[in-house]
Structure 1
Amino acid sequence: MDYSEVLNHFANLGLALAIGLLIGSERGWHRRNYAEGERVAGIRTFALMALLGALVAASGQHFAPKWAVLASALAFMPLAFLLVVGYVLETRRNGDLSITTPVAAMATFWLGTMPVLGLALPAAASAVVLTLLLHLKGKLHHWLEVLDHQELLGTLQFLLLSVVLLPLLPNREFGPWGSLNPWELWWMVVLISGLSMLGYFAMRIVGPGRGVLVTSLAGGLASSTAVTVSLSRLHRDQLPGATTMISSGILLACSTMYARIAVVVFVINRDLLPATIPAIAAGFLALLGIALWRMFRVRGSRESESPAIKNPLQLLTALQFGLLLAIVMVASEALQQWYGEAGLYVLAVLTGTTDVDAIVLSLAPRAQDSLGTDVAVMSISLAAATNTIMKGVYCRWIAGPGLGNKVLVPTVVTAALVLAFAAITIW
């Protein structure tokens, strides 16, 4: 056995010991008020279990690699028996039915074997994640308490969309002009659903106590249109005097639409991003700048109401968006075939009145391929500009001229800037 091999064995044993000490420290801290001998396993026991796993695996591997796992399994059985006996005795004494510590101890043994089997990095990463899960007990239980039925159902539906349905779809072209690829279409639905889920839960974590501005920024990722409508109604029905604060929240939410477009373009076709950035950045910075300027004017306000955003994680919503996206994809290909660039520009404006994601997802993959970069940039900019103006129109219609003009004017100016920068980029 050469010197480097000896060092490797000691490194594996040291990592296993560190893993046991890490997990054991958390378990020991969690049960620090227990008297000596009242715990089934503490810091020393966890360290010994991880070290035992490493020693058994190393001993088995010395004879043949295939014996390492078998030797570990044979050593694990009596250890698991001792943990079960200890759990039963502790349950009888204090009535605590939680099996978290015994299961963590069993996992620690196997984490100790992993460095010896050549899985040092996964072992270390798993140990950190396991320790975090153990330590975040209170926060995780609190999250379950505040999580309602629709949010849990929506999360499960999102997993159904992404983990179950997506791998089953064929990855090839169908339909008129080969404009529909089921796998790519559904991947785009998953992408938008994921961004909406991220924004929604970010807003839920922030909480209403953070006020209109912070929750508008988070809620804008889920749906800037929904934030606009919700805040407009809030102003009309409850806070008629908070015009500056509410307008700041709406403009801040609208600015996130441009950040969202940039993320989608980067994920779908990152080669298109440099050409898209000038127009997108102009829209984002214009709205963000006005929102922040107004925010500082009312920074002493104590208003804390937040926009009421409905849970976006709905299977029916995803299916409806998928249908809309499929229609837009076929329509964009048809209009390009029949009317050329002008047809796409008309479609971008019409689609932008209700949704900007569909046109972005439809055109971004085709840029620099069947569709020129300039046409894609101008179409996306037209849709974004139209959608921005429509938010101002919605606010003016719902909340009246007082708030409406404070939102409509900046959105119109921003739309003009977006189109101007798009034109400069193209020409």
Structure 2
Amino acid sequence: MEQDLLDSFLRLAVALAAGLLIGAERGWHKRSQAEGTRVTGIRTLGLSGLLGGLCALISQQLDLILLGFAFVAFTLVVLVTRIRASSETQDLGATTIIAALVTFALGAVAVLGDIAIAAAGAVVTAMLLGVKTSLHRWLSLVTEEEMLAVLKLLAMSVVLLPVLPDKGYGPWQVLNPYELWLMVVLIAGVSSLGYGAIRIAGPRRGVLLASLAGGMVSSTVVTLNFAHLSRSQDSNPRLLAAGIGLAATTMFPRCLLVAGILAPGLLPFLVWPLGLATLGGLAAAAAVWPRQAMPANRPDMPLGNPFEFITALKFGLLLALVMLLATALRLWFGDAGIFVLAAISGLADVDAATLSLARLTGQDLPLGLAALGILIAATSNSLVKVIIAASVGVRSLGIHVFVILGLALGCGGLGMALALSLAQ
């Protein structure tokens, strides 16, 4: 009996704390308003959370339907109060009403459900209320085409993905529609991190941000853009080479992330080579990086939206082709065929090679060979960037990019040897 009483007090305390937290945010947000003119604040919402907990406690003892009636009555009180206040202030926002209702509900959850869920819900609610300005600023940056692209891909993923057949089709039963589209969504999600950083901060914030964020979307596009830029009169080839090196270096942790998600068993084999390659690339880029500032009038990088359905579909087709070739070459030439495929596919897209090899580990491909194939694909892709920098940009740009990526790949090779020796 005493234990039940302590548990009830604890749950009511959490209900009160949830209301106080949300109320503190609302009170701070409306701190400029005179006392008595605010519909909700730290006291009102604190009591609302406690009220939700008390109503839940009483309903638990009598009948849970009472909690429903209490919630309806609370909603009516909040609505009437809000309507009276809005007639004086002309404020038509519904956030205050929803915040009060959520607070009451969280108080009830604290008593009837899991305390941790109620506490987490209160924190998330307060955070969501607190980032109003940032959310509105972010929405103002999103174009109609970008919003439609995101919605289309979400519809294809959330609606279509669950109903796609999860079995193999085609030659050797290699093509699994469910797995293919899941991988496409994974790559689009990773690419969106860099694309979002570029859209929010803008590529004119500096070569450092443009290189790191742009590399998450397409380091090849960054390389081509900076190579063209190196031929302008006011460019700094050392700075642009360092930027290309940074963009290309992001490929290594990106491969590690993608491979680790699909095949966690690959991580012990990839952490050393890709980790050392990343450190080597960053160190070399830092050594090449000059002290001079980047000219402010450079052009934006034409990065494609990774959420575009056509872009996702093209990558899906490329991935399907690489998967077919990976299986065929392995059947015809053994494990050596994997290395040939990795080198060739890496010329076009290192992600497709990484995904294909990670998937083959579930079909008896040794983890060490898969990791070596991924490193070969990354090497092949890096050579493409060196060729682009040397052929499109000025001579010194190609030399510096070669040095940066050469050091990164050399460190990666040492890491691969270390990983294979540790695995024995």
Task: Please indicate the TM-score interval, normalised by the length of the shorter structure.
Answer: over 0.9
Structure 2 residue 252 is the aligned partner of structure 1 residue 258: yes
Shift of 1:154: 3.0
Q: Equivalent residue of 2:230, what SS?
A: helix
Report what 1:7 is aligned to. Answer: 6
Find the aligned partners of 2:41 and 2:272 in 1 and give their Cα distance.
Answer: 58
Q: Does 1:185 align with 2:177?
A: no
1:364 to 358, 362, 375: 358
- Tell me by how many angstroms 1:185 deviates: 1.6
Shift of the 426–53 alpha-carbon distance from structure 1 to 2, 3 Å rule, reads closer
Quick check: 1:301 aligned with 2:301? no
- Once residues 380 and 156 of structure 2 are traced to their aligned partners in structure 1, the CA distance between those partners, rounded to angstroms, is 30
Alignment partner of 1:128 is 2:123: yes
Computed over aligned residues only, the root mean square deviation of the Cα atoms, in angstroms, reads 2.1
The reply to whether residue 317 of structure 1 matches residue 311 of structure 2 is: yes
Asked if structure 2 preserves the Cα contact closer than 8 Å seen for 1:20 and 1:49, the reply is yes
Partner of 2:74: 79
2:288/2:400 contact within 8 Å kept: no
Q: Deviations over 1:39-97 (max 9, x none)?
A: 2222222122111111111011013xxx23x2121012222112222222222212111
Q: The residue matched to 1:116 in structure 2 has which SS? A: helix
Matched residue, 1:224? 219
Could you say what secondary structure the match of 1:115 adopts? helix
> Partner letter of residue 361 of structure 2?
A
1:255-308: CA deviation from partner (whole Å, max 9, x where unpaired) = 01011111111111111221233332343222211111122x32x525455644
Q: How does 1:330-349 map to 2 (within 5 A)?
A: 330-349=324-343
Change in CA separation of 1:369 and 1:60 when aligned onto 2, cut-off 3 Å: same
Q: Which moved more, 1:368-377 or 1:312-321?
A: 368-377
> Larger relative contact order (C-alpha < 8 A, sep ≥ 6)?
2
Letter in 1 for 2:198: M
Q: Deviations over 1:98-144 (max 9, x none)?
A: 11101111111111100111221111111111111111111111111
Name 2:270's counterpart in structure 1: 276
Q: Is the 8 A contact 2:265 2:367 kept in 1?
A: no
* Aligned counterpart, 1:199: 194
Structure 2 matches for 1:16-415, cutoff 5 A? 16-63=15-62, 67-68=63-64, 70-208=65-203, 210-237=205-232, 240-295=234-289, 297-298=290-291, 300-301=292-293, 303=295, 307-367=301-361, 369-412=363-406, 414-415=408-409
For 1:226 and 1:157, the matched residues in 2 are separated by: 24
- Residue type matched to 1:141 in 2? H
Structure 2 distance, partners of 1:202, 1:158, is 19
Rounded Cα–Cα distance in structure 2 between residues aligned with 1:32 and 1:425: 58
- The 2-side partners of 1:36 and 1:410 are apart by 62
The CA distance in 1 between the partners of 2:120 and 2:417, in whole Å, is 49
For residues 426 and 77 of structure 1, do their structure 2 counterparts lie closer, same or farther at Cα, with a shift above 3 Å needed?
A: closer
The one-letter code sitting in structure 1 at the alignment partner of 2:53 is A
Output the amino acid matched with 1:48: L
What's the offset of the Cα at 1:166? 2.0
Residues 1:93 and 1:363: Cα distance change in structure 2 (over 3 Å): same
8 Å contact from structure 2 (residues 277, 410) kept in 1: no
Structure 2 distance, partners of 1:325, 1:186, is: 10
Aligned length: 419
Distance 1:416 1:47 in 2: 60
The SS at the match of 1:241 is coil
Change in CA separation of 1:33 and 1:284 when aligned onto 2, cut-off 3 Å: closer
Aligned-partner Cα distance in 2 for 1:266–1:225: 23
Task: Provide the secondary structure at the position in 1 that maps to 2:110.
Answer: coil
Does the 8 Å CA contact 2:22/2:122 hold for their aligned counterparts? yes
Q: TM-score with structure 2 length normalisation?
A: 0.92
What letter corresponds to residue 209 of structure 2 in structure 1? V
Q: Following TM superposition, by how much is the alpha carbon of 1:240 offset from its aligned partner in structure 2, in angstroms?
A: 4.5
Task: Describe the SS at the equivalent of 1:367.
Answer: helix
Structure 2 residue identity aligned to 1:95: Q
2: distance between equivalents of 1:127 and 1:276? Answer: 40
Structure 1 residues 344 and 24, CA gap change in structure 2 (3 angstroms): same
Q: Which amino acid aligns with 2:29?
A: H
Distance, in Å, in 2 between the alignment partners of 1:206 and 1:415 is: 30
Aligned partner letter, 2:215: G
Amino acid paired to 2:38? R
Q: CA deviation at 1:413?
A: 5.0
Partner Cα distance (2:405, 2:172) in 1: 37
Alpha-carbon distance in 1 for matches of 2:7, 2:414: 62
Write the distance in 2 (CA, Å) between the matches of 1:19 and 1:178: 53
Residues 285 and 404 in structure 2, CA contact (< 8 A), matched pair in contact too: no
Whether contact under 8 Å (1:388, 1:411) holds in the other structure is yes
